[in-house]
Amino acid sequence: MDFEPLGLATDLVILTVRDGRLQVLLIRRGIPPYQGRWALPGGFVRPDEDLETTARRELAEETGLSAERIHLEQVATYGAPDRDPRGRVVSVAYLALVPDLPAPVAGSDAASASWVDATDVLDDSGRLAFDHHRILADAVERARAKLEYSPLATAFCPAEFTISELRGVYEAVWGLPLDPRNFHRKVTKTPNFVAPLGTTTTRDGGRPAQLFHRGTATTLHPPMTRT
């Protein structure tokens, strides 16, 4: 079987919540095309390598994290014939959600990598190389939608978190404030969304807050409402 010349790559939309804002990991491209421009981290799929394996490898390279526990999901595939000036390159986009990292992007081999406010990038459709603006927009929209009906927000949190830290994730991703009391009610009354640890922390100031970890639920019924 002979095939047309074709490149297969994965691009990663790595999101985190820092300082109450949704941020995305971008790299500055060191080589043409789009040299010097910001882009999503990514790379070519190796022969005999599964797509998700490629994505996890890239994720580990960029974040320095052993990427096993990280939430990673496929978003979509982009294959417009002219999307890469080097030739036909089809890219499978993955969305990764990571907690606020203790070490800021250690071990990255990219020319320079940094966290950037996602909304800033989304507001400027010309900032990113290739069709990465579109990919980012699709991935962020996926994340926003999944917060509604899945416990995905916990993927942004460390293993132990408070209800208000979880609320901060929703507020950052959705970009709107939520009522702390109603949020607390919703989260704690949805079966298996979160599980209490019995311990408390005062790291958020104010009255000590209970610590929770992820529950076993996979979907939220009824969903969290984006109002």
Partner DNA sequence: TGACTTCTCGTCAAGATGACGATTAGAGTG
Partner DNA sequence: CACTCTAATCGTCATCTTGACGAGAAGTCA
Extract the tokens encoding 215. 């529950």
Beta strands in 56-156 (DSSP E): 71-78, 89-97, 112-117
86: contact with DNA by CB under 7 A: no
Q: Do 43 and 136 form a contact (C-beta atoms < 8 A)?
A: no
Q: How far apart are CA 137 and CA 119, in angstroms?
A: 10
CB of 216 to DNA, least distance (A): 18
CB of 151 to DNA, least distance (A): 14
192: contact with DNA by CB under 7 A: no
Count of residues in contact with DNA, rule CB under 7 A: 26
Part of the chain binding DNA (CB under 7 A), chosen from 10-18, 82-90, 95-103, 160-168: 160-168
| Single-letter amino acid, residue 223 | P
Judged by CB under 7 A, the residue of 74, 114, 150, 210 near DNA is 210
In degrees rounded to 5, what are phi and psi of residue 8?
A: -120, 125
114: contact with DNA by CB under 7 A: no
Closer by beta carbon to a copy of itself, 21 or else 186: 186
Q: How far apart are CA 94 and CA 140, in angstroms?
A: 11
Judged by CB under 8 A, the residue of 19, 35, 66, 80 near a copy of itself is 80
**Chain residues 8-47 in contact with a copy of itself, contact rule CB under 8 A:** 8, 45-47
77: contact with a copy of itself by CB under 8 A: yes
Q: How far apart are CA 112 and CA 108, in angstroms?
A: 8
In degrees rounded to 5, what are phi and psi of residue 64?
A: 75, 5
List residues binding a copy of itself (CB under 8 A): 1-8, 45-51, 74, 76-77, 79-81, 86-88, 90, 92, 149, 222-223, 225
